[in-house]
């Protein structure tokens, strides 16, 4: 027998928790399934200085715990579990958790966020957890006083390189073009850091290693085709994110990058009663505060939709 739910929230980043706060205060008795990374991407961040209301800054895990506590205070039922399948063709909508538990929800709020992208090199799998990482803040500690590399040239890569430079003896930044995408202030920070060596026009050909983990990388200059081996123990990939939308394929409208499409000025997807908020539908801003704002929109839209369909 499937459990019947009025308002199901999938995902537990700033968008999911904000939706939960609004939905629970509106009496929608929301149930949240947290997903594979409870608290979302911010749990892998140290300092968050740009979320309003924290004048002294806050570390990511603390902020997410605060949001969870706030959602629970109004009665949100927060549960572990990953949504693995959905069927939005019927009303109520059907959602499966961890391939077994079946739920029936009148309204569904999707806040599944986005995940780190990988280069597609064999070594990323072979050495995952043995020198390869997509999160400097999570794993940098293990590479104190060692040599590491960061791939990418956006704000994340620049931030991770600066972070690692505080811990490591040397940081090699592998940049595929002759310019960076990161904001000017972040570019200046990495360029002026004597511990960070930028390899322009370069791509990683291979991650080298043995049974103990990563021992180096081979990079190739894309202009000259010259290759170079760098001895190091940590390899951090920071090349952007992929929205977590695979279970919605064929049911919800997505753009070319597979971000969910919401109706302008709303959280409505193409299926009535299914709403999306946060990074899963935002390839532009991707900030905690914009995610939280869109979570509020999703809960208000869900409440109005439930009321207009006499489901609340
Ligand atoms: P971005 O999409 O901005 O940047 C991705 C970077 O990875 C680009 O430099 C890109 O290169 C490079 N890249 C992509 N694919 C490959 C590949 N296969 N091989 C090598 N390099 C590759 O992602 P970010 O995660 O850096 O940032 C996402 C958003 O979050 C941005 O809007 C950013 O401003 C924001 N952000 C803000 C922060 C802050 O304000 N403190 C901190 C972190 C992120 P190319 O440039 O050649 O395309």
Pairing of strands 3-10, 47-48: unpaired
Distance CA 7, CA 298 (A): 11
Distance CA 246, CA 294 (A): 21
Q: What distance in angstroms lies between residue 300's CA and the mean position of ligand 1's atoms?
A: 32
The model's pLDDT over 129-182, given as tens digits with 9 standing for 90+, comes to 899 998 887 789 889 999 999 999 998 899 999 999 999 999 999 999 999 999
Per the omega criterion (within 30 degrees of 0), is the bond before 92 cis? yes
Cα angle 20-135-50, degrees, rounded to a multiple of 5: 50
Tell me if residue 279 is catalytic: no
- Residues carrying CATH 3.50.50.60, the chain: 3-115+242-309, 118-237
Pick the CATH number of 118-237 from 3.30.43.10, 3.40.50.300, 3.50.50.60, 3.30.70.890: 3.50.50.60
Tell me if residue 66 is catalytic: no
Tell me if residue 138 is catalytic: yes
- Please, are residues 64 and 32 in contact by the beta-carbon 8 Å criterion? no
Q: What distance in angstroms lies between residue 295's CA and the mean position of ligand 1's atoms?
A: 24
The model's pLDDT over 277-292, given as tens digits with 9 standing for 90+, comes to 999 999 888 889 999 9
- For the 3-115+242-309 domain, the top CATH level (class) is alpha beta
- Please, are residues 162 and 190 in contact by the beta-carbon 8 Å criterion? yes
- Please, are residues 236 and 142 in contact by the beta-carbon 8 Å criterion? no
Q: Is the pLDDT of residue 127 over 70?
A: yes
Distance CA 210, CA 311 (A): 59
**Confidence at 47, pLDDT banded by 50, 70, 90:** confident
Residue closest via CA to ligand 1's atom 36 equals: 155
- Please, are residues 168 and 161 in contact by the beta-carbon 8 Å criterion? no
Q: What is the mean pLDDT of the chain?
A: 95
Q: What distance in angstroms lies between residue 151's CA and the mean position of ligand 1's atoms?
A: 10
Among residues 66, 77, 135, 155, the one annotated as catalytic is 135
Query: What is the SS3 assignment for 17?
Result: helix
């Amino acid at each position: 027998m499937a459990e019947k739910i009025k308002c199901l929230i999938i995902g537990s980043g700033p968008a999911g928790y904000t939706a939960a706060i609004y939905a629970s205060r509106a009496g929608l008795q929301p149930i949240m399934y947290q997903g594979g990374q409870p608290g979302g991407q911010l749990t892998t961040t140290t300092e968050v200085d740009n979320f309003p209301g924290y004048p002294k800054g806050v570390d990511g895990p603390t902020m997410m715990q605060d949001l969870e506590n706030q959602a629970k205070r109004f009665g949100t039922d927060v549960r572990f579990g990953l949504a693995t399948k959905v069927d939005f063709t019927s009303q109520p909508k059907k959602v499966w958790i961890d391939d077994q538990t079946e739920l029936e929800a009148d309204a569904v709020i999707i806040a599944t966020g986005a995940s780190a992208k990988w280069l597609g090199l064999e070594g990323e799998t072979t050495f995952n957890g043995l020198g390869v990482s997509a999160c400097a803040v999570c794993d940098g500690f293990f590479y104190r006083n060692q040599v590491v590399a960061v791939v990418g040239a956006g704000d994340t890569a620049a931030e991770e390189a600066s972070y690692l430079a505080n811990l490591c003896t040397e940081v090699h930044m592998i940049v595929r073009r002759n310019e960076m995408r990161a904001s000017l202030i972040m570019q200046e920070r990495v360029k002026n850091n004597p511990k960070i060596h930028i390899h322009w026009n370069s791509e990683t050909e291979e991650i080298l290693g043995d049974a103990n983990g990563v021992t180096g990388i081979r990079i190739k200059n894309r202009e000259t085709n010259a290759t170079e081996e760098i001895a190091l123990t940590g390899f951090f990939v920071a090349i952007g994110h992929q929205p977590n939308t695979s279970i919605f394929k064929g049911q919800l409208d997505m753009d070319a990058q597979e971000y969910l499409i919401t109706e302008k000025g709303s959280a409505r997807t193409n299926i009535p009663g299914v709403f999306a908020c946060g990074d899963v539908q935002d390839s532009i801003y991707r900030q905690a505060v914009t995610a939280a704002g869109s979570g509020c929109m999703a809960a208000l839209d869900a409440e109005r939709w439930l009321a207009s369909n006499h489901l609340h």
